[in-house]
Structure 1
Amino acid sequence: MRIKKALNNNVVITIDTTNKEVILIGKGIGFNKKEGQKVDPEAAEKVFRLEDQAEQDKYKQLLPYIEEDFIPFMHDVLSHIENKMGKIVNEHIHIGLTDHIAFAIKRAKEGIFIKNPFLVETEALYQQEYSIAKDIIEMIKEYSGVELPKGEIGLIALHIHSSVTDRKVSEINQYSELVFHLIKMVEEGLEIKIDRKTINYYRLIQHIRHAIDRATSGNYTKDQTILANVLKKEYPLCYNLAWKIVKVMQKTLQKPVDESEVVYLTIHLQRLIG
């Protein structure tokens, strides 16, 4: 490969035999290197391609603002995510998560901490991603000596979920806020305080998540008219609350939510007070 640009002592952008850009990362790989010089990719500790030109440009713009040794550290983080998730993560995580963690460390060193009001909901919604995010918090502590606040676990989990679902973090965060709002509706409507550690809470929050997914994808369940009539008669409080929740979902998502969701929500709500 030939060097197109040495970004710093440890990172070079090269051109491969197909004339595509490849980023090589390795200690000293860019030291005193000039454009056009050959470099052996075997000498690199990490090799990766960003296929999307816009993502390449964002990555190059980000690099001057982060420490040189942070780049190989982040690739250890990304490798850990891929190994644990069992799938290749979308390349946009290279920019999004690198940027987030770099500035989370900077904020923490300056004593600035961001609160995360959706932490409990994030853990329940994305359990695998949340568990991996906890690992990453420990990796960050070992790398930098900085112990990030617990709220960062949820934020990193959202980035992981974004990368494996091809959804924007902002979209996923919107769904988390919606779930949080709907849970508050349930507590106020039933005049209860839900124990976040119970299986019924976990089932409810998972159902709401999948209801949102079904609404956004247009996948609906089979007709439940007969069961709906029974539940409406037997559990009017929960049935009416379920309808209110569905209407809020429709308004927030700007998409139709199938009436069958009312049936399943009614069952989950009744479990909370039954």
Structure 2
Amino acid sequence: MRGTYKIKKVLNNNVVIALNTINEEMIIIGKGLGFGKKQGDLIDQQNIDQLFQLVNEQQQEEYKQLLLQIDDSIMETINDAIVLISRRLDQKLNEHIHIALTDHIAFAIRRLEQGIVITNPFLTETKSMYPVEFQIAEQVINLINQQLEISLPKDEIGFVTLHIHSALENKPLSEIKDDALLLKKLINLIETGLKVQIEKNSLQYSRLVIHLRHVLDRVLHHETVELNEKFVTLLKQEYPLCYNLAWKLIKIIQTHYQLPVADAEAVYLAMHLQRLTQK
């Protein structure tokens, strides 16, 4: 946040567009930052909460339009939420979160006012897949509910979690949602194939989700794991149901991503499935 910033345009009391020392446009956020200010004024460094640059002109325009549509108190609270996320993670976030999360929260508040309830079918999976982001999302929803004196439902925690993870991993939200959908499909197949019902809030369920998530991550990053031939022979002979089911799941993953999956993944997945049948 070092350097001098000269105001180019005041968007609202808390957000301004300013030029840095090399005349790049920056979006700067801070409580009361734009109040009473005009073009050409310098910004007091102490008032800056967030500073980011939307290089894409279309994204800049989208953000400006959002500010025109959202009440200042709501906008201030959402900015506080993004500051909270940044501080909790202490990592650089993709700057598109300022558009994506702002738009999502504003729309969620509008739905709440209209009495429209949207349930989150991936809430449990999301919590297991991204526990750190989920915990921060809980804090975000609590902050919003407290500051605006509203009651956004628990389902929103899952949606906010995906936005946080998307900004953290620099992946489009559509891909994050796609992963969650695939994960849910795989778990449904496991429950059907093994004729078991896994308690969603159990440690057993959490371990399964984490194992599957690691499989997906390794596939997407083209990573491999070593194959133990003794395990293969044992699993084929002793646990054919789990072995065959594991391969069915691997084929679904291959088809979904159109990427190769190491044979070893089926072996270790079969071992995990066997543990499920023993519970």
| Among 21, 27, 50, the residue aligned to 1:23 | 27
What displacement does 1:3 show? 2.4
Q: What is the distance in 2 between the residues matched to 1:259 and 1:87? A: 35
2:139 is matched with 135
Indicate conservation of the 8 Å contact 2:16/2:34, yes or no.
Answer: yes
Q: Structure 1's 249 and 99: CA in aligned 2 closer, same or farther, altered over 3 A?
A: same
Residues 67-108 of structure 1: per-residue CA shift (max 9 Å, x gap): 123333223212211222231222111111111111111111
Q: What is the distance in 2 between the residues matched to 1:43 and 1:192? A: 57
Q: TM-score, normalised by structure 2?
A: 0.91
Q: What is the distance in 2 between the residues matched to 1:256 and 1:123? A: 28
Which runs of structure 2 are paired with 1:20-169 in the superposition (5 Å)?
20-31=24-35, 33-35=37-39, 37-42=40-45, 44-54=47-57, 55-169=59-173
Q: Structure 1's 191 and 78: CA in aligned 2 closer, same or farther, altered over 3 A?
A: same
State the secondary structure of the residue aligned to 2:183. Answer: helix
| Among 237, 240, 245, the residue aligned to 2:244 | 240
Please tell me the root mean square deviation across aligned C-alpha atoms, in Å: 1.8
Letter of the 1:85 counterpart: L
| Among 212, 219, 223, the residue aligned to 1:219 | 223
4+ runs deviating over 6 angstroms: none
Indicate conservation of the 8 Å contact 2:134/2:157, yes or no.
Answer: yes
In structure 1, list runs of 5 or more residues that go unmatched: none
Letter of the 2:213 counterpart: R
Indicate conservation of the 8 Å contact 2:145/2:152, yes or no.
Answer: yes
Residues 37-93 of structure 1: per-residue CA shift (max 9 Å, x gap): 322333634341215234333322321111123333223212211222231222111
State the secondary structure of the residue aligned to 2:146. Answer: helix
| Among 186, 197, 200, the residue aligned to 2:201 | 197
2:8 is matched with 4
Q: Structure 1's 17 and 273: CA in aligned 2 closer, same or farther, altered over 3 A?
A: same
What displacement does 1:168 show? 1.1
What displacement does 1:258 show? 1.1
Q: What is the distance in 2 between the residues matched to 1:230 and 1:19? A: 66
Indicate conservation of the 8 Å contact 2:124/2:201, yes or no.
Answer: no
Letter of the 1:215 counterpart: V
State the secondary structure of the residue aligned to 1:30. Answer: coil
In structure 2, list runs of 5 or more residues that go unmatched: none
State the secondary structure of the residue aligned to 2:7. Answer: strand
Residue 208 in 1 paired to residue 245 in 2? no
What displacement does 1:30 show? 3.1
Letter of the 1:227 counterpart: F
Q: TM-score, normalised by structure 1?
A: 0.93
Letter of the 1:58 counterpart: E
Q: What is the distance in 1 between the residues matched to 2:159 and 2:125? A: 12
State the secondary structure of the residue aligned to 2:261. Answer: coil
Indicate conservation of the 8 Å contact 2:133/2:165, yes or no.
Answer: yes
State the secondary structure of the residue aligned to 1:58. Answer: helix
State the secondary structure of the residue aligned to 2:175. Answer: helix
What displacement does 1:31 show? 4.2
Letter of the 2:199 counterpart: D
Letter of the 2:6 counterpart: R
> What percent identity do the matched residue pairs reach?
43
Indicate conservation of the 8 Å contact 2:14/2:34, yes or no.
Answer: yes
